[in-house]
Amino acid sequence: MLGEDQHSSVEAPPRTFKLGKANDSSRGPLSDRFGRRITYGLSSVTFLGTTLGCAFSPNISVLVAMRALQGFAECAYLTNGQAVVADIFAPAQRGQALGVFMLSLVSARV
């Protein structure tokens, strides 16, 4: 097993990903200042790069670092997605639309 070979915890990468997502509050001001399209684009490129970094990581330390950066890049989808739903739907329909949006994010977690 990976954790036994490198004397580290296999639980570290998923927990680090969640730690990276904890910085979710920085995406709102960035998207307000530079626009949602640019924020989505930069986050997608960063997410792709860190995913490749995870795939080709030579050791557990690099994997943990890439997972933290991956979580940081991924948080833009949640923050900006809610803002896009709020922009598109009227206040009377917004609750149901946000519920469907969040249901897709929650049910896709593995």
pLDDT attached to residue 2: 46
The Cα-based distances of 58 to 1, 44, 61, 67 in angstroms read 15, 23, 8, 14
pLDDT attached to residue 72: 83
> pLDDT tens across 51-80, in order?
999 999 999 888 888 988 888 888 888 888
What six digits make up the tokens of 32? 């307000």
- Computed over every residue of the chain, the mean pLDDT equals 78
pLDDT attached to residue 58: 92
pLDDT attached to residue 76: 81
